[in-house]
Structure 1
Amino acid sequence: MDLPFLINVSWIAPWGFLIDAALRFIIAIGTLIVYLDKTRYDLLAKEQYYRLLAENASDVIYRFKFVPKMHFEYISPSVKKLTGHSPHSFYNSIRLIFSLTTPNDRPILRMFARKFFYEPDHTLILRIRRSDTSMIWVEQTSVPIVNEEGSCIGFEGIVRDITTRKNLEQDISRLDSLNTVGQMAASVAHEIRNPMTTIRGYLQFFANKREFSTYTNQFGLMIDELDRTNLIIKEYLTLSKHRTIDLKLNNLNVIIESLYPLVKADSNADNKDIHMHLSDISLIYLDEKEIRQLILNIVRNGLEATSSDGIVIIRTFQQSDEIVLSIQDNGSGIPQHILDNLGKPFVTTKETGTGLGLATCYRIASRHQAVIKVESTPSGTTFNICFKIP
């Protein structure tokens, strides 16, 4: 730029080169500063973006270090929703995760901790107790963190709530068990009932003989046992039938009211009581015969679970897009090992029960696209059958 004006001034040439060099240096420094500032801005933007993803993900993302001591370097806020405990609780105590793990699954967690160095790419499935004492299933996948020397100094992982998936697996297992029982029933039930009919007939014949009059009670007992066996086989056949249900718009309250005299008489015979609290509800598609069977099975189970002067409460109410039939008893509750397998054939708390009544109820609910939810405490059990409103 100064060349046209200073071309004839000989002594200015060296200074011109210096000025030129200084300007180039200043421009280079300015360009570098702008580049570095833009790079820093981009890194901050990406860090904010990734932090936003981590902190708003439904899965828990964490980073655990072994050095200089074992500690959580980072754990996403979603752990609060998953476990009920804040990230700071895990920062303050790494033992918290062991205390949350159910006692039956703690050996699995210890084995994972020992084998991690040899099998880092390992999926871990555990049951944990949330702060509100409810139990959930979680699945963890993790990858090791390796330093420059190739040593493992920690791991990063993702923890996901898989309770819904586990419940679905249990439902599939329950349906598979029902189908197996149905196939067994269809193949052998008739073959068993035919000789039983013959035996029952001869027992009645001999019971009427004068020379066997002293054994009348024994014959009656044998006939009663045969009738009970026949009832079990009948329940088998109920499970085996792939019947087409006759769905019609019905009022659930009307069905319950028609059953009330029957269950009321049943309860009075054992010095127990039944209360009804029916709310105004919408019409839903039901097969009346099957719903009657479902209600009778669960109500009678409730009556048998209560002691003398026990009470069973039948409620109906509407919430959002569902009609809920609630049957509550004040018995001693259902043990956890039974509750986990409720609805499977042969699972029962009764000494003389077959374990097929509730299996039939779950099958009926499945055919009506309904869901059975069970809440049990030492002070009673509640069955909530949730029907979708069309």
Structure 2
Amino acid sequence: MRRYQGRIIATVLAMTFIMFWNYLFYGVLGNKINWTVDLLFTLVTLVSVWWLTLYIDESNQLVYKLKESEKQYKELSAETNRIMDNLQEIVFQTDRKGIITFLNQAWTTLTGYSVKESIGTMYNDYFDHEERISNHLIAQLKNKEREGRIEVLYHRKNGSKFWGEVHYKLYYTNGQFTGSLGTLTDVTERKNAEMELLKSNQRLAMQSQKLAMAGQLAAGIAHEVRNPLTSVNGFLQLMKTEYPDRSQYFDIIFSEIKRIDSVLGELLVLAKPHQVQFKKIKINSVLQQVTTLLETNAVLAHIEIKKAFEQGKEWEINGDENQIKQVFINLIKNGIEAMPDGGKITISSEQEGDFVKISIKDEGGGISQDDLDKLGEPFFSTKKEGTGLGLTVCLNIIGAHNGEMKIDSKLGEGSTFHILLPLDNQMEKAEKTKPYIMPSKMI
């Protein structure tokens, strides 16, 4: 209806005027009616009015559409600005000279500079002028790249700094750079985490080098000491037969020589890279064999070994059976030695995700937090006469099997050693043989 509004009004007014004219011309003045002329005049007048007002209606329609478009544009612009101002990322735009032409409110929140004072300034007024940034941008423009990413150290208005990750698009017209559009995100926490990780990796690398050197040195010392030790042991055996009245002293010497030989053996195990030949191992069967082997020692020490694993149920892993047995034996012996007055050792196994978890729990005196942090370091031991190499060897073996060890312990409440080993289907995804360098901590 709005489309014909002008024509209808004009036509009605024209007809009203014609009727009024006819009333005056024929009624008041008394002129004779000429129907042909009168009808033709009326028709021409109405058609002319309709045709002339057609342009008025079209103009009004265009004005109406323009107003509607302007209204929609303002609403869209307001919505866009509202979205831009609520974004946590900075949105920016520059011209071909690098002058900032647009910023959203996130710029003020992150940098402290107002949008008004920053518009019209150069894009590089707010970060360190590093050569790598200049080289990066020059290379991008030279190669006519359309988009890119770079990390830049920005300055805030208060003097502090933050790392920003810039994603940008470059625009060209007829091969000439005309401007850029992009986003800026605060990645300071991520950069700090990356730097901490890098420092940690460097520390681990240095620790690994030290351990490797210590292992090589230990292997050399072990080989050099064992040869004269064998000779000493032999001559002492001869001397014992000549001095039977002093056999108790020789027994003490032989006991200490045996202890030295044991330490040297552990050093060699620690120093030698483990090229493990994997085969399928049934964990509960291995646990059964180990507990059977150590039950006699446990009974003599007034210790009960409780088997809390289902002997009929098996979890299979890939690994070296002898080495896995060595881990269990070392940990159970540690538990026995931790309870000089007797007690109970509980051994259990269960599936945990893609791993089988073997837990060995004792009722000893427990381990302090400070000592927990040091466990696994060579030559550190909580036992008076311990060498600290037994647990180090265990960690080395578990690492070679792509496993992990966790220790739960509190003073006065005993300790629980959890060994997690990947199940058979998961182990197949890893490398079958590789030398393992023990990490500084595995707790």
Q: Normalized against structure 2, the TM-score is what? A: 0.55
CA distance in 1, matches of 2:198, 2:407: 16
Secondary structure (helix, strand or coil) at the match of 2:415 reads: strand
How much has 1:340 moved relative to structure 2? 1.8
Counterpart in the other structure of 2:365? 332
For the 8 Å contact 1:312–1:328, the answer to whether it is kept is yes
In 2, the alpha carbon distance for the partners of 1:310 and 1:177 equals 39
- The aligned length equals 291
Q: CA separation of 1:340/1:172 partners in 2, compared to 1, >3 Å: closer, same or farther?
A: farther
| Among candidates 213, 217, 231, match of residue 248 of structure 2 | 217
CA distance in 2 between partners of 1:186 and 1:153 (Å): 53
1:114-153 equivalences under 5 Å are: 146=156, 151-152=158-159
Aligned to 2:224: 191
Percent identity among equivalent residues? 26
Counterpart-to-counterpart distance in 2, 1:273 and 1:64? 66
Counterpart position of 2:342: 309
Residue matched to 2:75: 37
Give the distance between the partners of 2:306 and 2:406, measured in 1 at CA: 20
Structure 1 residue 287 corresponds to structure 2 residue 323: no
Unpaired stretches in structure 2, ≥5 consecutive residues = 1-5, 7-60, 90-107, 113-151, 163-185, 425-443
| 1:80-123 alpha-carbon deviations (Å, 9 max, x no partner) | xxxxxxxxxxxxxxxxxxxxxxxxxxxxxxxxxxxxxxxxxxxx
The answer as to whether partners of 1:245 and 1:287 remain within 8 angstroms in 2 is: yes
Q: Is contact 1:259-1:292 (8 Å) kept? A: yes
CA distance in 2, matches of 1:273, 1:28: 93
- C-alpha distance in 1 between matches for 2:206 and 2:367: 20
Supply the distance in 1 between the matched residues of 2:262 and 2:315 (Cα, whole angstroms). 36
**Conserved? CA contact 1:298–1:327, under 8 Å:** yes
User: Mapping of 1:363-378 within 5 angstroms?
Assistant: 363-378=396-411
What is the match of residue 265 of structure 1?
296
Cα distance in 1 for residues equivalent to 2:69 and 2:159:
41
Give the Å deviation of 1:286: 2.4
TM score, norm. by length of structure 1: 0.61
Counterparts of 1:60-79 in structure 2 under 5 Å?
none
Structure 2 CA distance for partners of 1:151 and 1:367, relative to 1, 3 Å: closer
Asked if the contact 1:189/1:237 (under 8 Å) is kept, the reply is yes
Superposed displacement of residue 35, structure 1: 4.1
Conserved 8 A contact 1:281-1:318: no
Task: Report if aligned partners of 2:274, 2:400 keep a CA contact under 8 Å in 1.
Answer: no
* Partner AA of 1:265 in structure 2: T
- Per-residue CA deviations over 1:196-244 (Å, capped at 9, x if unaligned) read 222222222222224x734x33332222212211111111111122343
Whole-Å separation in 2 of the counterparts to 1:50 and 1:153: 19
Distance 1:375 1:166, change over 3 A: farther
Superposed counterparts of 1:1-390, under 5 Å: 34-46=72-84, 50=88, 146=156, 151-152=158-159, 158-159=188-189, 169=201, 175-176=208-209, 178-210=211-243, 213-214=245-246, 216-279=247-310, 280-378=313-411, 379-390=413-424
Moved more, 315-324 or 201-210: 201-210
Quick one: structure 1 residues 47 and 299, their matched pair in 2 at CA, closer, same or farther if it must change by over 3 Å? Answer: farther
In 2, Cα distance between the equivalents of 1:334 and 1:144? 48
Q: Does structure 2 conserve the Cα–Cα contact (< 8 Å) formed by 1:181 and 1:239?
A: no
Determine if contact 2:278/2:318 at 8 Å carries over to the other structure. yes
CA positional deviation for 1:157: 7.7
Over 3 Å counting, the alpha-carbon distance change for 1:175 and 1:276 in structure 2 is farther
Amino acid at match of 1:253: N
Corresponding residue for residue 93 of structure 1: none
Q: CA deviation at 1:154?
A: 9.8
Superposition CA RMSD, Å: 4.3
3-state SS in 2 of match to 1:314: strand
- Unaligned 5+ runs, structure 1: 3-22, 52-62, 68-141
Query: SS of the counterpart of 1:362?
Result: helix
Q: Look up the equivalent residue of 2:82 and give its one-letter code.
A: L
Provide the secondary structure at the position in 1 that maps to 2:367. coil
Would you say the 8 A contact 1:248–1:285 is kept in 2?
Answer: yes
How far apart are the structure 1 equivalents of 2:353 and 2:397?
23
2:348–2:360 Cα contact (<8 Å) kept = yes
Instruction: State whether residues 305 and 331 of structure 1, in contact with CA within 8 Å, keep that contact through their aligned partners in structure 2.
Output: yes
Alpha-carbon separation, structure 2, partners of 1:312 and 1:39: 73
Structure showing greater radius of gyration is: 2
Per the TM alignment, residue 333 of structure 1 is displaced from its structure 2 partner at its CA by 2.1
Alignment partner, residue 119 of structure 1: none
Cα distance, 1:48 vs. partner? 5.3
